[in-house]
Amino acid sequence: MTPLCITCAVVGAELTREQTPHLPITPQEIALEAAGAHRAGACMVHLHGRDPRTGAPSQSSAIFTEILEELRRIDDQVIVQVSTGGAVGMSVEQRCGSLDVPENLRPEMATLTCGTVNFGDDVFLNPLPAIREIAGRILARGIKPEIEAFDAGHLDTAKHLANKGLLPEPLHVDFVLGVPGGMAATEQNLRFLVDSLPQGWTWCVAGIGRNEFPMARLAIEWGGHVRVGLEDNIYLDRGVLAEGNAPLVVRVAQMAAEAGRPLATVDEARAILRL
Ligand code: KMH
Ligand code: ZN
């Protein structure tokens, strides 16, 4: 069985300290959470930035540089994937600040959302010209994109861009299911999406909120990969807050062990994801 790649989305853009006191905010806190997630079994971390004074989401290259400097000081192994989604309302220029870090800190992956989606009461805007622009910036830096698909049409857009030669195959896709306004986190929907993938593409699923562990279970059984983390879900059990990211990773690692699926090391993940 292919080893399981666990990605940990440690901070996100929307979560607040009012929702959970375990949210990391400063570059040091974010780096510590990322390293802890790696120790718990994740091979990759998905990173957003936060303004350390206010906690507001930030894609500033200075903040990403600080996070990555600190992370590399304590963990020089974990695969780094930066967000180019940022937060709703950010411009393409702002969102891509995460890509502009010194070369020695350059991430191996960056997200590329392939379509617009309602996002609660907001709209996460990703028109085609923006997708092409962000894709170009990711590829120009030799970074591998992870396609973020919040809906079925986003996968079709990724295929369209690949067919036009604007995205190199095989791609890696993260199905983000259960965002209010996006595609629901159901077994039927995930089956449809996985069956719609082109040959050789790899996939992972991020179930939002209470969908996190049920979706993880399906991915473990079906040979896909899993994203967990406070960005997507803050609860370990009903009403029980996860005391950081590591407990969420440990839960998925336990599920994988029960299913007889080994966890991917960072080197195995690099081979599986073709980094
Ligand atoms: N914060 C969401 C609006 C990504 O990281 O690429 C977008 C997001 C996707 O989190
Ligand atoms: Zn994100």
Q: Is the pLDDT of residue 31 over 90?
A: yes
Supply the pTM of this predicted model.
0.98
pLDDT, tens digit (0-9, with 9 covering 90-100), for 151-209? 999 999 999 999 999 999 999 999 999 999 999 999 999 999 999 999 999 999 999 99
Tell me how far the alpha carbon of residue 221 is from its chain's centroid. 20
- Measured from the CB, is residue 249 less than 6 Å from ligand 1? no
Write out 60-124 in H/E/C secondary structure. Answer: CHHHHHHHHHHHHHHCCCCEEEECCCCCCCCCHHHHHHHHCCCHHHCCCEEEEECCCEEECCEEE
Does the domain made of 6-273 have the CATH classification 3.20.20.70?
yes
pLDDT at 192: 98
Residue-wise pLDDT for 97-131, tens only, equals 999 999 999 999 999 999 999 999 999 999 999 99
How much distance in Å is there from the Cα of 87 to the middle of ligand 1? 6
Ligand 1 pocket check for 88: Cβ under 6 Å: yes
Pocket test for ligand 1, best of 138, 148, 173 (most atoms within 8 A of CB): 148
Q: Coil, strand, or helix at residue 218? A: helix
Of 160, 70, 147, 140, residue with least CA distance to 100: 140
Using DSSP's 3-state secondary structure scheme, residue 224 falls into: coil
Backbone angles phi, psi at 230, to 5 degrees: -60, -30
Ligand 1 atom 9 nearest Cα:
85
DSSP-based three-state secondary structure for 258: helix
Mutational pocket test of ligand 1: of 16, 90, 123, 124, the residue with most ligand atoms within 8 Å of the beta carbon: 124
What's the chain's length in residues? 275
Q: What's the chain's average pLDDT?
A: 98
Q: Confidence class of residue 247 from pLDDT cuts 50, 70 and 90?
A: very high
Q: Which amino acid is at 259?
A: A
144: β partners: 109
Question: From atom 8 of ligand 1, which residue's Cα is the shortest distance away?
Answer: 85
Q: Is the pLDDT of residue 1 over 90?
A: no
User: Tell me, what's the pLDDT at 262?
Assistant: 98
Tokens of 232: 């997507």
Domain borders along the chain are 6-273
